[in-house]
Homo-oligomer: A and B are copies of this chain.
Amino acid sequence: MADQWPEFVRSIKGVILDMCGVLYDSGEGGGVPIEGSVEAVRRLKSSDLQLRFCTNETQATRQKFVAKLQRMGFDIEVREVFSPAPAVVSILKDRGLRPHLLVHDDLLPEFDGVEKSDPNCVVIGDAADNFSYQKMNAAFQVLISLDKPLLFSMGRGRYYKETDGLKLDVGAYMKALEYACDLEAEVVGKPAPMFFQSVLNDMGIQPHEVLMIGDDLVNDVGGAQWCGMKGVQVRTGKYRLSDERHPTVTADGYVDNLACAVDTILKHR
């Protein structure tokens, strides 16, 4: 499989990179860069390829998140990064919705301009320690009291890797609320096609001209393929050996890490 992916590399015009698990491993103190990733991003930027970053990160505002990556040494700017919170804020405003928020404290500033009184929907993100029984019940009670319960989930990841081990991601708590309230959440972020489409629109190129590189087989690779892009999985971050024999998603390539992926891309152009 990995031997075949250089063939389509010749026709791509842009690359979208997942961030956590591809650029860095998260954890206490903000995390650490994955070996070779800082240089790999720099090499991509020096090429003729368009480059965007696409994350389901919701533990910080986009500004603070990008600043963290810059401190790690990455050549990256806020306007190149697509994350779920600005996307969900746009949806809330378009549809006149007032959210009850179950999110990380550090994400709250993203919702500063949003009316939150008398909520008529719930928005959840990767709230981490805010996923207490008390706060889950508060979100549940808002939903169950609505005639038409409406839940937005910023991503639907199952878990992610921190330096001290795997941690439950927002998708697990989305499923808990879906089951309790007998509803289906609207996912904002990867793998939602609308979210990928907004990145493609910004790049101004066609899906088949774009390669997505991520560590999440289903949400990064599968989500990108669903939109017509190519998807390659790195063997870093939350990657597990069993991903390479997944029943429904097969990546267009598997590669040890971002540095190797960029080597392959630049060598075959």
Chain A residues within 8 Å of B, Cβ to Cβ: 127-134, 136-137, 140-141, 144, 158-159, 165-169, 171-173, 175-182
Contact among B129, B133, B141 for A128, CB-based, below 8 A: B133
Measured between beta carbons, the chain B residues less than 8 angstroms from A168 are: 133, 136-137, 140, 176, 180
> What are 30 A-B residue pairs whose CB atoms fall within 8 Å in the complex?
A128-B133, A129-B132, A129-B133, A130-B133, A131-B132, A132-B133, A133-B168, A137-B166, A137-B167, A137-B168, A140-B159, A140-B166, A140-B168, A141-B166, A144-B159, A158-B180, A158-B181, A158-B182, A169-B180, A171-B179, A171-B180, A172-B176, A172-B177, A172-B179, A172-B180, A173-B176, A175-B175, A175-B176, A175-B178, A175-B179
Measured between beta carbons, the chain B residues less than 8 angstroms from A169 are: 180
Q: How far is the CA of A179 from the CA of B130 in the complex (A)?
A: 20
Q: How far is the CA of A136 from the CA of B172 in the complex (A)?
A: 10
The answer to whether B140 and A131 touch across the interface, beta carbons within 8 angstroms, is no
Measured between beta carbons, the chain B residues less than 8 angstroms from A133 are: 127-132, 168
Which of chain B's residues has its CB closest to A169's CB? B180
Q: How far is the CB of A221 from chain B (nearest CB, A)?
A: 16
Which of chain B's residues has its CB closest to A133's CB? B131
Q: How far is the CA of A139 from the CA of B195 in the complex (A)?
A: 32
Q: How far is the CA of A172 from the CA of B183 in the complex (A)?
A: 12
* Most central of A133, A136, A173, A175 by chain B CB within 10 Å: A133
Contact among B141, B158, B180 for A165, CB-based, below 8 A: B141
Q: How far is the CB of A126 from chain B (nearest CB, A)?
A: 10
Q: How far is the CA of A201 from the CA of B47 in the complex (A)?
A: 74
Q: How far is the CB of A190 from chain B (nearest CB, A)?
A: 16
Measured between beta carbons, the chain B residues less than 8 angstroms from A175 are: 175-176, 178-179
Q: Which 7 A-B pairs have the closest CB atoms?
A: A172-B176, A175-B179, A176-B176, A131-B133, A172-B180, A175-B175, A158-B180
